């Protein structure tokens, strides 16, 4: 799966809002070592560097394209090409921060306790993930991908793996001195001819379109775009409201 940094950053302001909200809920700590799990193009890593300028900052991502952009944007940080599943470190970080990344990683029953246990005493795990996989936008993608016309032409679709809030509480509360769980629905005001399709093309659709040639992609986008326009109609001013639910987890060891 190849990421397109420019397309992902097309909605950079909208995508940044949950990261800022997560950052604002981190307890007052002075971390010496901060790790950004799934750092992408480094736009959130920059916020961490501004918040804790004296901390050693490491960004991890599995996309070479995203990491190239991150290294150019923030040369003072260290960026490593690795997946969250493979990450480990002998030096315990004081903050593990992850914005819109861990839903791509499976086996949260094992992953979240492991991440919390890797922290230094008093360290913080701060995570934000999408929680809208049952929304019309994502349901339409799944239905189209499994239709008789498109089945066999799309890639192995992965929308993300998340648990229920009660499950994260069960996994993390016994290991935490402080645990906060909450959710927020952001009503994104989008513009353009196919704004919801453009939003999904930056993330959700990537595994579906990975094996397609350009002509097949455009045909798929055309059919999906029509369905999305019906589900999310623009108002008289050309604004399309796109509700986007996000879940937040802040656990202090």
What average pLDDT score do residues 227-237 get?
96
What residues form DSSP beta bridges with 128? Answer: 99, 248
Distance CA 193, CA 116 (A): 43
The pLDDT-based confidence of 3 (bands split at 50, 70, 90) is very low
Report whether 43 contacts 11 (CB < 8 A): no
Tokens 């950052």 belong to which residue?
23
Q: Could you tell me the residue ranges of all domains in the chain? A: 5-252
CB atoms within 10 A of CB 23: 18
Question: Which residues make Cβ contacts (< 8 Å) with residue 160, sequence separation at least 6?
Answer: 103, 104, 129, 130, 133
Confidence at residue 10, expressed as pLDDT on a 0 to 100 scale: 52
CB atoms within 10 A of CB 112: 22
Domain 5-252 has CATH 3.40.50.150: yes
pLDDT in tens, 6-61: 544 455 677 789 999 999 999 999 999 999 999 998 989 999 999 999 999 999 99
Q: What sign has the CA pseudo-torsion 217, 222, 225, 227?
A: negative
Distance CA 227, CA 14 (A): 23
User: Per mean pLDDT, which range of 71-75, 85-89, 97-101, 124-128 is the poorest?
Assistant: 85-89
Q: Which of 122, 147, 141, 167 is nearest to 29 (CA)?
A: 122
Distance CA 31, CA 95 (A): 6
Confidence at residue 151, expressed as pLDDT on a 0 to 100 scale: 87
The pLDDT-based confidence of 253 (bands split at 50, 70, 90) is very high
Confidence at residue 145, expressed as pLDDT on a 0 to 100 scale: 92
Instruction: Give me the phi and psi of 85, to 5 degrees please.
Output: -60, -35
pLDDT in tens, 170-224: 999 999 999 999 999 999 999 999 999 999 988 888 889 888 999 999 999 999 9
Confidence at residue 6, expressed as pLDDT on a 0 to 100 scale: 52
Q: Which of 98, 135, 164 is nearest to 231 (CA)?
A: 135
Confidence at residue 106, expressed as pLDDT on a 0 to 100 scale: 85
- Residue 72 pLDDT > 90: yes
Question: In terms of pLDDT, which residue wins out, 112 or 86?
Answer: 112
Report whether 131 contacts 184 (CB < 8 A): no
Tokens 């008289």 belong to which residue?
236
Listed in order, strand segments (DSSP E) in the chain are 33-37, 56-61, 78-81, 95-99, 124-130, 178-190, 240-252
pLDDT in tens, 90-147: 899 999 999 999 998 989 999 999 999 999 999 999 999 999 999 999 999 999 999 9
Question: Which residues make Cβ contacts (< 8 Å) with residue 168, sequence separation at least 6?
Answer: 108, 112, 181, 249
Q: Which of 157, 120, 164, 119 is nearest to 141 (CA)?
A: 157
What average pLDDT score do residues 232-239 get?
96
pLDDT in tens, 158-170: 777 899 999 999 9
Task: Tell me, rounded to whole angstroms, the distance of Cα 198 from its chain centroid.
Answer: 16
- 146 SS3 class: coil
Confidence at residue 12, expressed as pLDDT on a 0 to 100 scale: 60
């Amino acid at each position: 799966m190849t990421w397109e940094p420019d397309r992902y950053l097309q909605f950079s302001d909208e995508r940044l809002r949950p990261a800022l909200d997560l950052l604002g809920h981190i307890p007052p700590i002075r971390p010496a070592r901060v790790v950004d799990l799934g750092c992408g193009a480094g736009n959130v890593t920059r916020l961490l560097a501004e918040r804790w300028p004296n901390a050693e900052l490491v960004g991890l991502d599995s996309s070479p394209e995203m990491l190239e952009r991150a290294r150019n944007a923030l040369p003072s940080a260290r960026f490593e090409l690795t997946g969250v599943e493979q990450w480990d470190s002998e030096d315990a970080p004081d903050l593990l921060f992850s914005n819109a990344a861990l839903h791509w990683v499976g086996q949260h029953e094992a992953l979240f306790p492991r991440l919390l246990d890797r922290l230094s005493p008093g360290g913080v795990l701060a995570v934000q993930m999408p929680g809208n996989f049952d929304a019309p936008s994502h349901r339409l993608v799944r239905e189209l991908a499994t239709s008789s016309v498109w089945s066999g032409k799309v890639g192995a679709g992965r929308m993300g793996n998340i648990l229920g809030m009660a499950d994260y509480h069960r996994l993390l509360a016994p290991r935490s001195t402080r645990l906060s769980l909450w959710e927020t629905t952001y009503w994104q005001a989008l513009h353009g001819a196919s704004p919801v399709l453009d939003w999904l093309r930056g993330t959700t659709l990537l595994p579906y379109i990975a094996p397609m040639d350009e002509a097949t992609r455009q045909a798929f986008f055309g059919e999906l775009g029509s369905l999305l326009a019906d589900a999310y109609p623009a108002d008289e001013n050309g604004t399309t409201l796109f509700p986007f639910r996000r879940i937040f987890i802040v656990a202090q060891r």
